[in-house]
Structure 1
Amino acid sequence: MSPLLLPVLLCLVSAVAYAAAAVVQERVAATTPGGPCGPLRRPGWWGAVALTGLGAGLHVLALAYGPLSLVQPLGALTIVFALPLAAVSARRPVGAAGWRGALLATAGLAGLLSLTGPPHAETLDPAQRPGLAAVAVAGAAVLALGAHWARRAVVHGVVLAAAAGVAFGMASVFTKAAAQDWTSGRTEFFVFTALVTAVLAAGGMLLSQASYRGAGLAAPLATVTTVNPVVAAAVGTAVLGETFRYGVTGGLLAILAGTVATAGVVTLSRLTPPRAAPHPSDTTSTVPRARRGLTHATAKQE
C-alpha cells in the first residue's frame, strides 16, 4: 500500500466533514430568526460545530502522516464537496457558474499552496505573539465592521467570510505554536498561545456562521477556503522566513494562482443565493394573526 494513501483518505474525509458542517451552518443561518445569536439555540448548529471539530482532527492527523504540500491543497476540496451536498439538501442544481467558480477557487488555492516552500522556523518567537494576536483580532474586527457598509447581501457575506478566514488562518498559526510549546515543555508560553487560539477559532466560527445569512453557501465558503491558508502562508513568509518554491518563477506563479482563486470567488459572489424555506418558528407568529383575521371577517359577516 502506498504511504500516501492514508493521508489522502484522511484529507478526503476531513473535507467532507468540513463541507457538511458548512452546509448545515448555511441552512441554520438562512432559516433561523433572532439575529446573530439565534443559531446558538438550534441543535443543528452544534452539530455543525461537532463536524468542524471532526474535520480539524482528521486534518491534523493527515499532517502527521503526509507532507504539507499534499495535505493542504487537498483541504481546498471542501468547497467542491459542499456544492453537491447543498444541492442535494435543497433539491436544486448546482449550475454551471457554481461549478466554474468552485473549480477556479480550488485550482488557484491548490496551486498557491503547492508552491509554498518548506518552513525555515519551527514556531513563533514568544515576543512576536502578542503583536500578531493584536493584528489578527484588529484585522478581523475591521473586516467585520466594514461588512455593515455593504449593500448587497452577497458582498456582506463575503466580507464577513474574509474576516472569518483571517481568524481561522491566524488560529492555525497559533495552534502550531501551542503544539510546539506543549511538546517542548514551555508551558509558560503555552497558556497564552492556547487562549489566543481559542479566541480566534471561536470568533472565526461565529463570523463564518454570520456570513451565510442571506449570502448563500458558495461565495462565503469559497472566501473562507481561500483567505484562511493565504493568511497562514503570509505569516509564514513574513514572520517564519518561509519562501515560495522555484525562486522568482515560483513567486510569479503564486501571484497567478492567487489571481485564479480570486476569479473563482468573484464568480461565486455574483451568484444569486436561493431563498431558503422559513423556519417553523417564523410562521408561528402568523397563525394567531390569520385566526384573528378570520374571526374579524366572520364577525363582520354576522
Structure 2
Amino acid sequence: MLALSILLALLAALGNAGASVLQRRAAADVGSGPSPARGGWMAGLVHRRVWLWGAGLLAVSGILQALALATGPLSIVQPVMSTELMFTLVVGSVVFHRSPDTATRWAFAAMAVGLAAFLALADPSGGRDTVPAADWLWTGAGVGLFVTLMIVVSLRLSSAPRAAVLGTATATGFSCTAALLKDALGRLPDGIGAVFTTWQPYAAMGVGLASFFLLQVTLRAGTLVASQPAMTLGDALLSVVLGVALFAEKVHLGWRVVFEILALAILTAGCVHLARSPLVGEEPEENGEGERRSKW
C-alpha cells in the first residue's frame, strides 16, 4: 500500500508539473500575441488548447493526490509531491526544446538524493486514519495565527524576502489542505456519504481556495527563485509535522537527526538552484518567435 501511495504521489507531482508548464506556455503566447477583443487576457487563455490541457491535467493530478493521501501517510505523500519541481524541469525541457545545463543536472540530482535520504532516515510510518475534532481546534488556531503573522511581516519587507515569507504562508495553507483532505478520506470505510456529511472536505475546499489566492499574491510579490524553495520545502516539512501531530505518524529522530539535517541541506540547495532554471520559472528564450510558436 505504501508503494502505491508513493507511485500515486509521483504521478500527481508529474501532473502538476505538466499543468504548470503548459499553462505557462499558453500565458506566454497570449502575452506576446494580439489582445483578445473581448474578456481580456483571461479570455485569451481559456481559448488556448494548451491552457485547457493544463487545466485538465491539474484536475487529474488532484485526484491522484487524493488517492495517495487515502492510501499513505501524510508525512510521506506531501514530501514526495515536492518532486513536482524536478518534473517541471524535465517537462519544461521537452516543451521548450531546451536542455538543462550541467549545473542544473547536478541540482536535480542533489534534490533527488536529499529527498530520498531524508525520507529513508525519517522513515515515517503508522498513524490513524482520522483526527479528533479537538486536535483540529488547536491546530487550526495555531496555523491561522502563523499565516496571519507571516502576511503581516511580509508587508514590511522588500520584494525577495516578501516572496519567501508569503511562500512559507502559502505552503502552510496547502499542507493544511492536504491534511484536511486526508482526514475526510479516512472516513471512506464508512461509505462515501460519511465523507461528505463531515466538515473536513468543505474546510479543505475553503483553505485550498484561500491558499490558491495567496499563491497568486506570492508570485506577484517577487521572483520564483525567492518563493519556490519556501513553498516546496515548507509544504513538505510542515506536512511531516502535521502527520505526527494530527495523525500520530511516527518519525525516527535520535542519532539520525544530524544526517536528516544534512539531507535537508542538500535538498534545499538543489531546490534553490532548480528554482533559478528558466525551465522551471520563466519561459526560456529561443531563436525566433515564429519558430517557438510553430511547435503548437
TM-score, normalised via structure 2 length: 0.69
* Corresponding position of 2:204: 197
Per-residue CA shift, 1:50-78, capped at 9, x if unaligned? Answer: 42331122234356677888766643332
Specify every segment of 5 or more residues in structure 2 that has no aligned partner in the other structure, as ranges. Answer: 32-39, 286-296
* Corresponding position of 1:167: 173
* Corresponding position of 1:241: 248
Per-residue CA shift, 1:149-196, capped at 9, x if unaligned? Answer: 44345x444333322211111111111111224544795995322222
Q: What amino acid sits opposite 2:168 in the alignment?
A: A
* Corresponding position of 1:254: 260
Q: What amino acid sits opposite 1:255 in the alignment?
A: I
How far residue 111 of structure 1 moved from its aligned partner, in angstroms, is 2.9
* Corresponding position of 2:62: 56
Q: Distance in 1 between matches of 2:26 and 2:214?
A: 14
Q: What amino acid sits opposite 2:61 in the alignment?
A: G
Q: Distance in 2 between matches of 1:233 and 1:138?
A: 19
In the alignment, is residue 117 of structure 1 matched against residue 116 of structure 2?
no
In the alignment, is residue 208 of structure 1 matched against residue 208 of structure 2?
no
Map 1:42-191 onto structure 2 (within 5 A): 42-43=45-46, 48-62=54-68, 74-114=80-120, 115-153=122-160, 155-181=161-187, 183-184=189-190, 191=198
Q: Does the CA contact (< 8 Å) of 2:8 and 2:65 recur in 1? A: yes
Q: Does the CA contact (< 8 Å) of 1:161 and 1:211 recur in 2? A: yes
Q: Distance in 2 between matches of 1:10 and 1:136?
A: 27
Q: Does the CA contact (< 8 Å) of 1:223 and 1:265 recur in 2? A: no
Q: Distance in 1 between matches of 2:254 and 2:282?
A: 43
Relative to 1, partners in 2 of residues 1:222 and 1:25: Cα closer, same or farther, differing over 3 Å? farther
How far residue 18 of structure 1 moved from its aligned partner, in angstroms, is 1.0
How far residue 227 of structure 1 moved from its aligned partner, in angstroms, is 1.6
Q: What amino acid sits opposite 2:267 in the alignment?
A: A
How far residue 29 of structure 1 moved from its aligned partner, in angstroms, is 7.3
How far residue 231 of structure 1 moved from its aligned partner, in angstroms, is 0.9
How far residue 230 of structure 1 moved from its aligned partner, in angstroms, is 1.2
Specify every segment of 5 or more residues in structure 1 that has no aligned partner in the other structure, as ranges. Answer: 33-37, 278-302
Q: What amino acid sits opposite 2:261 in the alignment?
A: I
Per-residue CA shift, 1:274-297, capped at 9, x if unaligned? Answer: 5789xxxxxxxxxxxxxxxxxxxx
* Corresponding position of 1:13: 11
Q: Distance in 1 between matches of 2:73 and 2:248?
A: 19
* SS of residue matched to 1:244: coil
Q: Distance in 2 between matches of 1:161 and 1:201?
A: 14
Relative to 1, partners in 2 of residues 1:28 and 1:103: Cα closer, same or farther, differing over 3 Å? farther
Q: What amino acid sits opposite 1:170 in the alignment?
A: C
Per-residue CA shift, 1:29-68, capped at 9, x if unaligned? Answer: 7776xxxxx9865427775454233112223435667788
* SS of residue matched to 2:198: helix
Aligned-residue Cα RMSD (Å) equals 4.1
